[in-house]
Amino acid sequence: MDWSKTKTIFIITFLILDCFLGYQFMEKRNSSQLDVILETTIEEQLEANGITYVELPKEITKATYVSGKSKKFTDEEIKKLPGQKVTVNDGTALKGTFIHPISLNFKDPYRLKEFLQRHIINGKKYTFWTFDEKSNTVVCYQTYDGKIIYNNESSKLLIHLNEKSEAVSYEQTMLDDLQKYERKQDIVPAIKAIETLYKKGYLQPGDRVTSVELGYYGLVQFTTSQVLTPTWHIVINGKKDYFINAFEGQIINDEGKILE
């Protein structure tokens, strides 16, 4: 036996074995680290990135689709409107002009509510959404069952102001015969909707989610009949609005289309 050759073979064999065992150890360690990463909750990931959020609604776990159609404003309803000149296009788009401008402090919820109930058909069914400074217009959205119907051309109220913050005219559309579907479905929890924004890059380190509420969004708009889907409305840093389909968990863009 050539002992020198045998020793060399043993040394090479042990080196190969050491390399193999080292490789196996590294694979297991990396796999273990990956498991830890995968087990990290969305709450922990947000905290690690300095992303904070308001208290999230937890009591809502199921919801249904809602169907409705464009309201036809009647002559009887129009006759009850005080101090206005009113025209209606196709029976569904009402435009009113006040004979005398009316002072409107839209920043005061009580005053706005009073104005809507006194001067707008079914005014109590609308709520303030935003103020467009460029056009000096107060934008209100219709509500149903205490929830807002977002960005819907068939359920919107636009109140035009003059330079004295007086209401001079308005345009109104409304959805009627709103009814819930009988079958309730599980909805995506609010934290999962936030997770969608985070994974898609809409939430950046240091951001704060300042508002989370459930409302409705039209699946198909600009039609006389509509189906509304439960939708999470999420506001980031008090400025940017996002809408998440509460059934599918997908982001809805400004045109009501689902984003991939």
The answer, yes or no, to whether residue 152 has pLDDT greater than 70, is yes
**Topology of the domain covering 43-65+181-252:** Lipocalin (2.40.128)
Residue 167 dihedral angles phi and psi, to the nearest 5°: -75, 125
pLDDT at 225: 84
Q: Identify whether the C-beta of residue 55 lies closer than 8 Å to the C-beta of residue 211.
A: no
Worst-scoring range by mean pLDDT, 23-32, 56-65, 78-87, 99-108?
A: 23-32
- The chain-wide mean pLDDT, for the chain, equals 86
pLDDT at 37: 46
The answer, yes or no, to whether residue 14 has pLDDT greater than 50, is no
pLDDT at 40: 80
Q: Which residue has the tokens 């939430």?
A: 203
The answer, yes or no, to whether residue 27 has pLDDT greater than 70, is no
Instruction: Output the six-digit token pair for 48.
Output: 């690690």
pLDDT at 34: 45
pLDDT at 253: 77
Average pLDDT over residues 99-117: 96
The answer, yes or no, to whether residue 31 has pLDDT greater than 80, is no
The answer, yes or no, to whether residue 255 has pLDDT greater than 80, is no
What is the sign of the dihedral through the CA atoms of 67, 151, 229 and 214?
A: negative
DSSP of 45-88, one letter per residue? Answer: HHHHTT-EEPPPP-S--EE--EEEEE----HHHHHTSTTEEEEE
pLDDT at 150: 97
pLDDT at 36: 46
More confident of the two residues 30 and 49: 49
9 pLDDT tier (thresholds 50, 70, 90)? very low
What is the sign of the dihedral through the CA atoms of 256, 170, 226 and 59?
A: positive
Residue 5 dihedral angles phi and psi, to the nearest 5°: -70, -40
pLDDT at 17: 42
Average pLDDT over residues 184-206: 95
Instruction: Output the six-digit token pair for 156.
Output: 């919107």
What is the sign of the dihedral through the CA atoms of 193, 197, 199 and 204?
A: negative
Reduce the DSSP state of residue 118 to 3 states and report it. Answer: helix
Average pLDDT over residues 252-260: 58
Q: Which residue has the tokens 């069952």?
A: 145
The answer, yes or no, to whether residue 212 has pLDDT greater than 80, is yes
Q: Which CATH class is domain 68-179?
A: alpha beta
What would the pLDDT profile of 35-79 be if each residue is shown by its tens digit?
444 568 899 999 999 999 999 998 888 999 999 999 999 999 999
**pTM to 2 decimals?**
0.81
At position 206, the amino acid (one-letter code) is: G
pLDDT at 189: 95
Reduce the DSSP state of residue 121 to 3 states and report it. Answer: coil
